[in-house]
A and B are shown apart, each in its own frame.
Chain A
Amino acid sequence: MVDGKVNFELVSPERLLASTAVDMVVVPGAEGDFGVLPGHAPFISALRAGVIDVHDGGKVTDRIFVADGFAEVTTERCTVLAGEAVPLDRIDRAQVEKRIAEAELDLRDAANDQERARAERALDTARALLAHARA
């Protein structure tokens, strides 16, 4: 561990996306964004759809969209388990719009509550993604 840094790890089910030592990470928690600095109290949180900001050397080095997931924080590391993660600068507008259209279609064709809930979740995620693509 590097002194005065947080070990930031971002993993998706399919692979390890990032593992670096940084100054600070801002994570979109389910009950509000929180920043993680070295020495943060041990903490586990659910995440909502939003953007993780990675701060290093006085500026934001990475901005990554996460759809959902969990964050585990200890005094020296911050591990984010993301369901889906896309760097902001790699969001493809056209593709996201297609996803929204598909999710809307699924929502309309949903046969039961379960399918409806799933389609709604997909739609919310896709919309959040689009909002960040625009920004």
Chain B
Amino acid sequence: MATLKSLRLRIRSVRSTQKITRAMKMVAASKLRRAQERAEAARPYAERMERMLRSLASSVGGGGGALPLLVGNGNDKVHLLIVVTSDRGLCGGFNSSLTRATRLRVAELTRAGHQVKILCLGRKGRDQLRRDHASLIIDTVEGIERGLGFAKADEIGQRLTAMFAASEFDVATIVYNKFKSVISQVVTVQQLVPFRVAEETPAADAGLKAIYEFEPDENEILADLLPRNLGVQIYGALLESQASEQGARMSAMDNATRNAGDMINRLTLNYNRTRQAVITREIIEIVSGAEAL
């Protein structure tokens, strides 16, 4: 049986762990609020960008100067997966569920005879994927979380545009955790290049469509707008992922705090029992010692 002293030390150590997890939960909660606000604030731009793209795409139609970023370059061979994870751990299944989805996707694409390249945004994704897909990872971008701004997302977008122009990939897909609620994040796979215009209820603004004038012409605006849209899409994914990460960390830390509490209770019970047993034994020793006289 454990000695009293070792039990006391155990309790103390679990208690200090609990303090840490509780503090981390608080921090995650406040970061989550900020991340959510940011995601909220970025939404109007994305919405309007999409509206503009839709009317542009419908007016360009299948027209002659169709742009590769919009319709693809005719190939379907090299797939680029952009995997958005966090730089830090201690956030439950946040990163593992994402890398699992990525692995499945890689297997699926390879089976279909495609070549796969992986771009990791976030350190944890690289760490986990390196084990069996090390040769596919072309690069990792770290430290996105600190001071995440549109500029960073746009930089990645420009890099993708350049890579696409150099035919380093044919199809780009982003894999990220979409924020659903604090306890639930949904792994989302979204195609970035060629850009898919969401088919939305045409009745909604059919009256407004196709009567726009453009300055300069459609193709030039599209050529300008599409790379920027790439940045916007990535920015949106990064914001979602960040909110999800904080949500996941919050619930993971909440669980850890609760588990530590349970453990302390169990250990305390054990400690008290042991203490009583020791006292009882001492009394018996004294009594039987006196009787023997």
Contacts and interface: CB of A to CB of B under 8 A. Distances in A.
A33 to B, nearest CB: 12
Given A13-B231, A42-B208, A30 B44 contact: no
Given A14-B149, A70-B221, A72-B51, A44 B41 contact: no
B228 interface: yes
Contacts, number: 75
A72 B53 CA distance: 11
Interface string A59-81: 00000000000101010000101
A31 B221 CA distance: 12
B224 A46 contact: yes
Contacts of B158: 118
Interface string A109-130: 0000010001000000000000
Contact of A44 (B44, B45, B221, B228): B221
Task: Give the interface size class of chain B.
Answer: 20 to 34
A35 to B, nearest CB: 14
B94 interface: no
Interface residues of A, number: 24
30 contacts: A9-B48, A11-B44, A12-B45, A13-B45, A14-B38, A14-B42, A14-B149, A15-B42, A15-B44, A31-B216, A42-B208, A42-B212, A43-B214, A44-B52, A44-B55, A44-B56, A44-B213, A44-B214, A44-B215, A45-B214, A45-B221, A46-B215, A46-B216, A70-B52, A70-B221, A70-B225, A72-B52, A74-B208, A81-B48, A118-B158
Given A12-B150, A31-B215, A43-B215, 14 more contacts: A12-B45, A13-B232, A14-B42, A14-B45, A14-B150, A15-B45, A16-B41, A16-B45, A42-B212, A45-B221, A46-B215, A46-B216, A70-B221, A70-B224
